[in-house]
C-alpha cells in the first residue's frame, strides 16, 4: 500500500506519539525497576509470553483470516503507551510504576516484537518476508521506537521549560494524528469495512478484557498492592496502536492495511473495555471498601452514658 498515509503521515504520527512518550520519561524511570521487582517481572512475563499465547489461542478459536491473525499477534506484541498511564492515573493506579513499565516494555519490544511477528507470519503463511530475522527491518523498528523516545527524554532533561509548553500540544497532536490514520486505513479497506468490524470486533474486545484481567490478576497473585496491580492492568491491557499500525502498513515492513485493521478496530473498542474495567477496579479498591464499611465505631467502653 503506497499512499500518503503510509509513506508520510503514519511515520510522522508515530514519531510524534513516541516523542510525547519520551517527554514523560527519565533515566530514573528505568532505575525504579528495583523498587517493584516482582510487579515488573510479572508484567514483563505477561507482555512477552502470556499475552501473545492468549492472543494466539483467541485467533485460532475465532478462525481469523491469516492477515487479520498476524495483525492481532502484532497488536499483542506491542508494548503499552501513554494511554495506559492516563488510565492508571484516572483509576487509582501507581503512575510511577506505569511509566517505568512503559519504558522497559518499549525497550524490550525491540527484541520480542519481531520474533512474535515473524512466528505469526510463518505460522499463518501469509507470504510475507520475515520481520524478525531481517536485520535492516529490526533497525527500522529501533528507529521507529527508540529514537523519538530518546529525543523526548533529552527535551525533558535539557529543556524542561520547552517540555512544559509542548507536552499538551504534542499529546493532542498524537491523538488527532492517530485518528486520521485510523480513518485512512478504514478508507483503504472501505470495500470490506463492515465485514472487518464484524470479524474483528468481538475478538478485539475480548482480547482487551483478557489483557486487562491478566495484567491485574497476575500482579495480585504475587501480592502486589492494588495501585501497582492497576498500573500493570492498564500497561498490559492498553497497547501502542500507533506502533502496531505503522509496522503493519509501512511499505518497507509488512505493507498490509488488512494487518492494520485489528489495530484500527482495537483503537475504538479498547477504550470502552478499559473504561468499564477501570470503574470495576475502582469499585473493588481498598478506598471503596473502606467507604462501604463506614466510619470506625468507638469501642463501647468509651461511650458516655446519657445523663
Q: What is the rounded distance in angstroms from the CA atom of residue 236 to the CA atom of residue 302?
A: 49
All cell numbers assigned to 62:
475465532
The CA distances from residue 255 to 46, 122, 172, in Å, are 28, 16, 27
Span 281-296, mean pLDDT?
73
Give tens-digit pLDDT for 249-271: 877 788 888 898 999 899 889 88
pTM of the model: 0.78
| Of 158-162, 244-248, 292-296, the least confident | 292-296
C-alpha 277/C-alpha 284 separation (Å) is: 11
Report which of 29, 25, 30, 12 is spatially closest to residue 163, judged by C-alpha positions: 25
More confident residue, 186 or 236: 236
Distance of CA 237 to the CA centre of its chain: 6
User: Tens digit of pLDDT for each residue in 35-73?
Assistant: 778 888 888 899 889 999 999 999 999 999 999 999 999
Domains of the chain, with CATH numbers? 4-285 (1.20.1530.20)
At 254 the three-state DSSP class reads: coil
Q: How confident is the model at residue 213 (pLDDT cuts 50, 70, 90)?
A: very high
Spatial separation of the C-alpha atoms in residues 129 and 118, rounded to whole Å = 9
- Cβ atoms within 10 Å of 186's Cβ, excluding its own: 18
Measured torsion, CA atoms of residues 107, 112, 116, 117, in degrees rounded to the nearest 10: 40
Amino acid at each position: 500500500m503506497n499512499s500518503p498515509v503510509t509513506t508520510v503521515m503514519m511515520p510522522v504520527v508515530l514519531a510524534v506519539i513516541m516523542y510525547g512518550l519520551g517527554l514523560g520519561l527519565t533515566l530514573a524511570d528505568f532505575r525504579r525497576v528495583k523498587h517493584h521487582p516482582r510487579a515488573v517481572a510479572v508484567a514483563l512475563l505477561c507482555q512477552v509470553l502470556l499475552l501473545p499465547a492468549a492472543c494466539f489461542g483467541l485467533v485460532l478459536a475465532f478462525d481469523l483470516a491469516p492477515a487479520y491473525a498476524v495483525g492481532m499477534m502484532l497488536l499483542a506484541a506491542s508494548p503499552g503507551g501513554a494511554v495506559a498511564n492516563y488510565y492508571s492515573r484516572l483509576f487509582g493506579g501507581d503512575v510511577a510504576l506505569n511509566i517505568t513499565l512503559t519504558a522497559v516494555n518499549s525497550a524490550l519490544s525491540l527484541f520480542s516484537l519481531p520474533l512474535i511477528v515473524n512466528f505469526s507470519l510463518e505460522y499463518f503463511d501469509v507470504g510475507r518476508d520475515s520481520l524478525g530475522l531481517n536485520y535492516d527491518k529490526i533497525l527500522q523498528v529501533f528507529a521507529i521506537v527508540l529514537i523519538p523516545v530518546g529525543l523526548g527524554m533529552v527535551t525533558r532533561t535539557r529543556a524542561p521549560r520547552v517540555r512544559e509548553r509542548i507536552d499538551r500540544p504534542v499529546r493532542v497532536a498524537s491523538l488527532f494524528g492517530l485518528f486520521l490514520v485510523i480513518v485512512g486505513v478504514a478508507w483503504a479497506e472501505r470495500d470490506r469495512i463492515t465485514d472487518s468490524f464484524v470479524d474483528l470486533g468481538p475478538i478485539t474486545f475480548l482480547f482487551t478484557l483478557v489483557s486487562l484481567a491478566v495484567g491485574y490478576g497476575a500482579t495480585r497473585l504475587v501480592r502486589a498492592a492494588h495501585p501497582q496491580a492497576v498500573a500493570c492492568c492498564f500497561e498490559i491491557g492498553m497497547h501502542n496502536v500507533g506502533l502496531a499500525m505503522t509496522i503493519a502498513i509501512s511499505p518497507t515492513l509488512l505493507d498490509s492495511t488488512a494487518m492494520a485493521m485489528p489495530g484500527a478496530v482495537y483503537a475504538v473498542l479498547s477504550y470502552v473495555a478499559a473504561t468499564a474495567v477501570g470503574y470495576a477496579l475502582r469499585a473493588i479498591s481498598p478506598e471503596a471498601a473502606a467507604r462501604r464499611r463506614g466510619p470506625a465505631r468507638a469501642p463501647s467502653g468509651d461511650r458516655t452514658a446519657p445523663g
